[in-house]
Structure 1
């Protein structure tokens, strides 16, 4: 298992009126983050907040190329990012104990915090298709180039972990510095992760380890499966 210190490239926020950051996702242009009673979008180039949607936003956030998905207590809501309208909802597998959320392979991937699990979920019915066990609390989930990563946060320690999606074995660990808690995780489809900073009100960009091979741009990847 490879273990290295995480390289923080940039910090965004805190954003006025948003004291907490929960779920995080990226639509190819803006970074979205959940702050309890709103979904907020900012420009990662300028760091400026560009819009907010008034919707329950308590945990993980995901984007499928067209719609936002947001954990709201014991539900996962499907949201039109243009209008802010909630189009549909399905039960969340943890019934209120869910954390991270990601989109890949046409399905949702839902982290359960204290249960230390990641569920693959049918976005139409909410049915659990399979479950991956972790040995740490799960606070964020993302797929990129066939790699499954999840964030952990226990006590004063936070990490980004690459795991084997079949066995849950930890393959790589990026250790965050003390105080840099991770409450949500998303890849930009390229060389960085966006990490929710919990009650710091910040979002941090962290360098994704170089695999030594070129990757497609994030704009080419948005709306397609992150697992190849």
Structure 2
């Protein structure tokens, strides 16, 4: 995956002539927690101290409440078997969950995981976050959609650029202190996005996060999942079918 990350940086750099260079960030691991190995992680977020996760794959997609310390699944509900679960976020006391290709978003009661309502949208659903007023949604392209959580109607779009060029494959999202953090699919990178301009202001390099001995050949998949608990520069991250979830602190590196 290191080669993929380098290619990701190099191709974007070669395509641009913008004067603004995104900051580079490294990481240090603060804590390591167990993570359910059957979780094809799509969405990850905290609410009121509780950790929630959505998982993908047809016939296996779910919404879960998870014990951070043990990795135990405390509460779980399945998505319809015909839907491939994607990102999720809490907004106005409701959990919203996207699906990949069905164009359907689900609204769940966070207490009992009852499915209360479904909504339709155009295109694919990938990542979801909440900025305090609007849901922010990715679709695998280089745009973010802003959604009214009361109606699930799209209100606007934001073009995301890295060094002035569109940045595609934006995946799981998290709103962090006024910025949008996003996994970039098939890389070990998390990008920091200015929600006003769409410009990538920082790149977090997470290469080497999961030790080699924790990779299961043919099973362990890509980095995906960002959760924020309110502690400055501290994130909780994991990946699809990863056996561990990490609490990390990020720090600026010299370019």
Do the aligned partners of 2:174 and 2:180 also contact (CA within 8 Å) in 1?
A: yes
Q: How far apart are residue 79 of structure 1 and its match?
A: 0.2
Q: Which has the higher helix share?
A: 2
Q: How far apart are residue 178 of structure 1 and its match?
A: 4.5
Do the aligned partners of 1:33 and 1:196 also contact (CA within 8 Å) in 2?
A: no
Do the aligned partners of 2:204 and 2:250 also contact (CA within 8 Å) in 1?
A: no
For residues 248 and 132 of structure 2, what CA distance do their matches in structure 1 show? Answer: 24
Q: Count the aligned residue pairs.
A: 204
For residues 239 and 170 of structure 2, what CA distance do their matches in structure 1 show? Answer: 14
Pairing 1:105–2:132 present: yes
Pairing 1:20–2:40 present: yes
For residues 117 and 179 of structure 1, what CA distance do their matches in structure 2 show? Answer: 28
For residues 149 and 136 of structure 1, what CA distance do their matches in structure 2 show? Answer: 14
Pairing 1:59–2:86 present: yes
From 246, 249, 254, give the equivalent of 1:204: 246
| TM-score in terms of structure 2 length | 0.71
From 120, 142, 149, give the equivalent of 2:181: 149
Do the aligned partners of 2:183 and 2:224 also contact (CA within 8 Å) in 1?
A: yes
Superposed CA offset, 1:18-41 (max 9, x none): 241111111122211112322122
Pairing 1:10–2:67 present: no
Q: How far apart are residue 81 of structure 1 and its match?
A: 1.8
Alignment partner, residue 185 of structure 1? 226
Question: In the superposition, relative to structure 1, how do residues 44 and 179 fare at CA in structure 2: closer, same or farther (>3 Å)?
Answer: closer
Alignment RMSD: 2.4
Pairing 1:38–2:38 present: no
Matches of residues 89-128 of structure 1 in structure 2 within 5 Å?
A: 89-94=118-123, 97-113=124-140, 115-128=141-154
Q: Which runs of 5+ in 1 are unaligned?
A: 211-228
